Amino acid sequence: MSERIPANNAPYAFEVEKDKTYFWCACGRSKNQPFCDGSHKGTGITPVSYEASQTRTVYFCGCKATGNAPICDGTHNKK
């Protein structure tokens, strides 16, 4: 299994749409951060799905170390 690569030392603010599903990049290799582009293939790491319950701004984790994937929990501030 490969290591997760921090993509950013801050969360990604993104406007999600109600009832739409998003796939958060958990490996850090995607060129389409914070979302998966398939770059995880062969790493043993898979993306995390997020279904929006309402239209609003969501803060997706950028450091890939959150304990509340895919949402930022402030872990990047503890490094």
Q: Which pLDDT score, from 0 to 100, does residue 14 have?
A: 98
Per-residue model confidence as pLDDT tens for the chain (79 residues)? 689 999 999 999 999 999 999 999 999 999 999 999 999 999 999 999 999 999 999 999 999 999 999 999 999 998 6
| Domain ranges for the chain | 1-72
Q: Which pLDDT score, from 0 to 100, does residue 2 have?
A: 84
Q: Which pLDDT score, from 0 to 100, does residue 1 have?
A: 62
Q: Cα–Cα distances in Å, from 76 out to 8, 25, 44, 56, 64?
A: 9, 16, 23, 22, 9
Query: Is the bond into 11 cis (omega within 30 degrees of 0)?
Result: no
